Amino acid sequence: MNNITIAWRNLWRNRRRTLITSASVLFAVFFALFFRSLQLGSYDKMFRNAIESYTGYLQVQQQDFWDDKTVDNTFRFDSALNRNIIRDPNVIATIPRFESFALASSGPKTKGVLVMGINPEKEEYLSKVPDKLIKYRITTEAIEALKQHADIPAKVVDLALLHKGTSYSTSDRMQVDLGIDDRDAGRLMPTIEQVTRFQNGNIRMGEPGAWVGDRLSQYLELEIGDTLVLISQGYHATTAAGKYVIRGIVKMPLPEIDNKVVYLPLDICQQLFNAEGNLTSLALHVKENSDDAVNATAERIGKLIPENQRVMTWRQMNDVLVSQMQADNYSGMIMIGILYLVIAFGVFGTVLMLTAERKREFGVMVAIGMQKRKLASIMTMEMILIGLLGILAGSVLGTGVILYGVDHPIVFKGAWAKMFEDYGMEPVMAFQGIDFYFLWQMFIVGLIVLISMFYPLQKIFGMKVVNALRA
Amino acid sequence: MKHHIQWGLLPIFLVLGMPVQSQELSAKEIIQKANDRFNGEKTSISTMAMTIVRPSWQRTIEFRNWTSGRDYALTLITAPASERGQTFLKRKNEMWNWNPTIDRLIKLPPSMMSQGWMGSDYTNDDILRESSVVNDYTHEITGEDTIEGRACYRIRMEAKEEAAVIWGHQIRWVDKKDFNFMKSEYYDEDGYLVRTELGKSIQMMDGRLIPTRIELIPAEAEGNKTILEIKEIEFNPPIQDQFFSQQNMKRVR
C-alpha cells in the first residue's frame, strides 16, 4: 500500500473535515479568479473606451507631426493610398481628421478652442460624435411645463430645478438626474422627454457650419443659429479666419473637452486653415486590436506609406494612458495580494484546526511504530490532495461564473452610473475571459496550501508521543 | 632766418587750416543722423513687400503703410488675395487688427507680442515698442568696416539701465557718406546674438538714398529669413491725426 492510497483513504475517513478544508481552498481560488477577472476586464474596457473614443488603435501622420503638432506638419490625403490601406486584412475603415487650435469669439467673449475637422459619418467608427448630439435640455420653459403637468411629482420638479440648464444626449442620464426609478420611468419619461426635447442639427461635408461643445456654447452664450468666429494661424503662416453658423450642440463626456471643442466638416476646416486636401491624421479602425495584431498591422501599413509619413500605435500616442494602465495593474495586483493574505489565513486556520484535531491520532500512529517520516509523507499527500480538490473545484466554479459574466457584464445604474460617466467611462464592469491569469491564481493558491503544510509537519516532527496520547 | 620763421608758423597754419566740419562726429550723433533718415520724418506713406523665407517654403505679402512720428501707423495688406483687406493700426503701444473675412476688430493682447507679425521674423513687439536708438543707449565708435562696398563706422550701443529695451547691446554699421544703417546686430542681455539686419539695394527714394531691401536674419533658426522691400516711399506727405483711427481701419483702401 503506498502513501497516496493511505492518504486518500485518510481523507474520506473524515469526510466533513476534508470537505471543510478543501472548501476553504475552493473559495480561495474562486474569489481570486472572480476579482482578477473583474479587474482585468474593467481596465480593459476603460482603456479601450478611451482609446477608441479619440486616437483609435493606429494613425497615419506626417513624420514630424507628433513632436510638433502644427498645421505646417500636415500631409496630403491620397485616395489611391487610402484604398490600399483599406485593403489591409485588419483594417475596416480609415477616418480622416484635421485638428488644430483657434481663438473662438462671440460678441465680447473669446476662448481658445480645439477645432476638429471631421467626416461625421466616418467618426461613427471612432469617437461617435454624432451620438453625442444633445437630445434633451432642462430649460426654464421645460421646468414650467413640468410644473403644469399633474402627474409629475414635486420632487422631480425640484430635481429639475437643481439641474437647470443641463443637457443630455441620452434619456437614461436624465432619468437618473431626476431621481426617477425604472418603475415610474415608463409613466413619467415620455412627458419629460417631450418637454425637454432639443432641436439639434447636422453638419455636412461641403457646407459651412459647426458643432460646438455644450459647455463651450454656454460660456460663449451661443445657440443654434448663432455665428461663431474662429481665428488662427494657417498653413505657411497665412491667417486663418472664418465665420460659421452653429448647427448643433454636442455633449462630450469629459468636461475639459466639452468646454473647448468645435467640430467642422473636414473640407471646411481645411479651407479655414488654408490647407486644402491636407490631414493632421488618418486614424484606422481595425478588426483585431490585440497588441500583436496592432503591431503587425502597423508594420504592413508602414510599408505602404511614403517616406515622409509614419504609423503610430495607440501605445505610442497614449503614453499617459499606458502609464495609468500599468499603475492600475500594479495596484490591482496589490489588492489581489491582500486578498491572498486573507485567503491564506483562512486556509491556514483550517489546517491548524485539522492538526489539532488529529493530534491524538498522530500520537497513536507514532506510538505503535509508524516512522514520523512516513506520517509526514502521508500528511503531505493528504494536503496536496485536498489542495488539488479545492483548486479544481474552485476553478470549475470560477470558470462557469466568469464565462457567464463575460456575456453579462455588471451594468451600473443610478448614482454609480453618473460617477462613471463623469469620468467619461461607460458604467459597466466587464469580465476578462479565460487567460493566463487563471494559471497564476491556481499556482498561488497551491503555494499557499504548501506553505500551510509546514505547520502540521512541524507538529509531527516535534511531537512528544506521550503528550500527544493524552490529547 | 626766413625759413626758420616759416617752419615755425607751419604748425599754426596747419591747425587753423583744418576744415571746421571735421569727421569727429560723436557716436551718438552718427546714430542720430542715421535714424533721422527714416524715422525722423513727421509722416510717410510707403508701399512694401515682405517675403517670409523658411527652409521648405516662402511667402510674400504686400502692403501699404502710413506712419506719423513713431507713435502712429496704419498698414493695409494688399496681396495675396487671401490676406487682402486686413488692416493693422498702431497707436503708441497698442495694436489692432481688422479682418474683413470675419468682420471683426481685434486688439492684440500682450500675450501675442512675441509672435511674428503676419508670421514673419518681425515680432509685434518689434513693431510696437521701437525703442529710441538714440536715447535708450550709450554709443561708442569701435572701428570701421566696409559693408556692400561702402566705408562704415562700427558703433557699439549699450542699453541704458533704466531703458525698457529687450536688447542687451547692439552693434551697428553706419555708412560714412550717407549715414544709412548698413548692418545691425542685436544681442540679448546675456550677450548672445539674436538677430542680424542687413541693408541692401541703396536707391534713391523721394530724394534720398536709402536701403530699399532689408533682410532680417534670426540667429537661432537655420534657413529662416524675412526680406522687406520698399517699393516706393513718400516722406512727409500731409496726413491728418484722425487718419489713425479704428473707423478708418475699416475704410482705408
Provide the residue-wise pLDDT of chain A in tens; the chain has 471 residues: 688 888 888 888 888 888 888 888 888 888 888 888 888 888 777 777 778 878 889 999 999 999 989 999 999 999 999 999 999 999 999 999 999 999 998 877 889 999 999 999 999 888 889 988 998 998 888 888 888 888 888 888 888 888 888 888 888 888 878 888 788 888 888 888 888 889 899 999 999 999 999 999 999 999 999 999 999 999 998 999 999 999 999 998 778 889 999 999 999 999 999 999 999 999 999 988 888 899 999 999 999 999 999 999 988 888 888 888 888 888 888 888 888 888 788 778 888 888 888 888 888 888 898 888 888 888 888 888 888 888 889 889 988 888 888 887 777 766 777 777 666 666 677 777 777 777 877 788 888 888 888 888 888 888 888 888 876
Task: Please report the ipTM that was assigned to this predicted complex.
Answer: 0.72
B2 — contact with chain A (CB < 8 Å)?
Answer: no
Whether the CB-CB separation of B45 and B218 falls below 8 Å is answered with no
Show the domain range for B54. Answer: 26-251
Determine the Cα angle at A400 with ends A394 and A406, to 5°: 125
Cα–Cα distance measured from residue A46 to residue A302, given in angstroms and rounded to the nearest whole number: 28
A109 — contact with chain B (CB < 8 Å)?
Answer: no
CATH number of the domain residue B213 falls in: 2.50.20.10
B102 — contact with chain A (CB < 8 Å)?
Answer: yes
Q: Do the domain assignments include residue B13?
A: no
Best B61, B102, B104 residue to mutate vs chain A (most A CBs within 10 Å) = B102
| Residue A58 DSSP one-character state | E
CB–CB of B59 and A236 under 8 A? Answer: yes
Give whole-number Cα distances, B48 to B42, B61, B117, B232, B250, in Å: 19, 8, 14, 7, 20
Best A71, A106, A110, A236 residue to mutate vs chain B (most B CBs within 10 Å) = A236
Cβ contacts of A127 within 8 Å, gap of 6 or more: A53, A54, A118
CB–CB of A229 and B102 under 8 A? Answer: yes
Q: Do the domain assignments include residue B1?
A: no
Domain residue ranges of chain A, discontinuous segments joined by +: 3-50+321-469, 57-134+200-315
What nine digits make up the cell of A323?
Answer: 502609464
Where does residue B220 rank: exposed (0-12), middle (13-18), buried (19+ CB within 10 A)? exposed
Q: Do the domain assignments include residue B224?
A: yes
Closest Cα in chain B to A239: B83
Of the candidates A246, A251, A247, which has an alpha carbon nearest to the alpha carbon of residue A174? A251
| Residue A63 DSSP one-character state | T
Of the candidates B91, B114, B89, which has an alpha carbon nearest to the alpha carbon of residue B99? B89
What nine digits make up the cell of A352?
Answer: 491548524
Q: Do the domain assignments include residue B18?
A: no
Nearest to B102 among A238, A243, A274 (CB): A243
| Structural domain count, chain B | 1
CB–CB of A238 and B59 under 8 A? Answer: yes
Spell out where A251-337 has E strands. Answer: 261-265, 278-279, 281-286, 309-313
Q: Do the domain assignments include residue B21?
A: no
